[in-house]
Amino acid sequence: MRTPFISGNWKMNLDRAGARGLAAAVAQHAARGVDVALFPPAVYLDEVVRAVAGSRVQVGGQNCCDEASGAFTGEISTAMLADVGARLVLIGHSERRHVYGESDELIQRKVARALGDGLHAMLCVGETLDERDGGRTEEVVARQLTSGLRGVARASLASLTIAYEPVWAIGTGRTASPAQAGEVHRYTRGVLAGLYDREVAESLRILYGGSVKADNAAELLAVPDIDGALVGGASLRADLFLPIIDAAQRTHSA
Ligand code: PGA
C-alpha cells in the first residue's frame, strides 16, 4: 500500500512571515495516513524547518547543484540543504527544464548527487503541449525517466518519488483529466518496471502535478496509479492546500 503524498511547491512566492505562518498551519493540520512535504524558496528553508518541527511535515529544496561544493556562484549544494534540515529536493521541475534550460544529463547528475548525499529526490517529468499534440507524451516521459534514473541502484529507489507534471497543465488552470493523468501514470509505472522490476515499480509513488486544486484533487487521487499531488498555486494558501490533504486522507481511508 502506497501512502498518499501531498507536496506544496511554493516556487518564488511568499515572504518570511508568510512562509512561517503557512508552514505552521500545514504542520498543525497534517493528518495521519498522508505524507506531506513543503518546498519553500531556499532562503526560507530554515524558517520553515523550524515551523514544522515535531510534525509529520517534511521540507525540501526546489533545486540543487550537481556539484558537491566550490566555485558555483548562486548554487546550493545538497549538503547545504541537508544541513538546514531539508530532507528532500525537487529535481527536473518543468520550470528548471524549460525556463532555465536544464538538460536530461544535468538532471541525471543532480539525482545522483541528491541520492548520494542522503536526500529524497522528487524527479519531475512531463511533456509540453506540442509534444502531447504530436503524440509524443510516452516517448518524452520514458526518455526523461530513463535518463534521470541512469545509474540509480534499485536500493536507492526507496528515497525517490516521481512527479508527473504535464507542462501544459502547470499554472494554466488546465488540469489533465483523471483519465489522461491515469494513463500516463500507468505508463510511467510500466517504464519503471522495465528499468527495474515490477515489485519496485509498484512500491514507488508517482504524484500528479498541474493545476491541482481542492475541487479536483479527490477525483485525481482516486485514480489507482496516482499516489498524491505536487501542488503549486494552491499550495500558497492554507485554505486551498489543507483541503487537498483532507482529500488524500479520505481517499486513503476509503
Ligand atoms: P500548479 O503548479 O499547481 O500551479 O499548476 C504545479 C507545479 O509546478 O508543481
Report how far ligand 1's centroid is from the alpha carbon of 54 (Å).
27
Residue spans of the chain under pLDDT 50: none
Report how far ligand 1's centroid is from the alpha carbon of 233 (Å).
6
* pLDDT at residue 18, as a whole number: 98
DSSP characters for 216-228?
HHHHHHTSTT--E
* pLDDT at residue 254, as a whole number: 65
Nearest CA among 102, 105, 9 for reference residue 61: 9
Say how far apart CA 102 and CA 202 lie, in whole Å: 29
Alpha carbon of residue 74 to chain centroid:
23
Domain range for 229 is 5-253
Write out the three cell numbers for 205.
Answer: 509513488
Q: Which of 93, 170, 220, 244, when mutated, tests ligand 1's pocket best, judged by the most ligand atoms within 8 Å of its CB?
A: 170
Total structural domains in the chain?
1
* pLDDT at residue 28, as a whole number: 95
Helix (H) or strand (E) holding 39: strand 35-39
Contact 140, 179 (CB under 8 A): no
Note the pLDDT tens digit of each residue in 201-227: 999 999 999 999 999 999 999 999 999
Write out the three cell numbers for 252.
Answer: 486513503
Backbone angles phi, psi at 161, to 5 degrees: -130, 145
Nearest CA among 90, 86, 63, 59 for reference residue 74: 63
Say how far apart CA 101 and CA 111 lie, in whole Å: 16
Nearest CA among 129, 140, 220, 211 for reference residue 168: 129
The domain spanning residue 131 has which CATH number?
3.20.20.70
| pTM across the whole model | 0.97
Note the pLDDT tens digit of each residue in 35-64: 999 999 999 999 999 999 999 999 999 999
- Bridge partners of 231? 8
* Atom number in ligand 1 closest to CA 173: 5
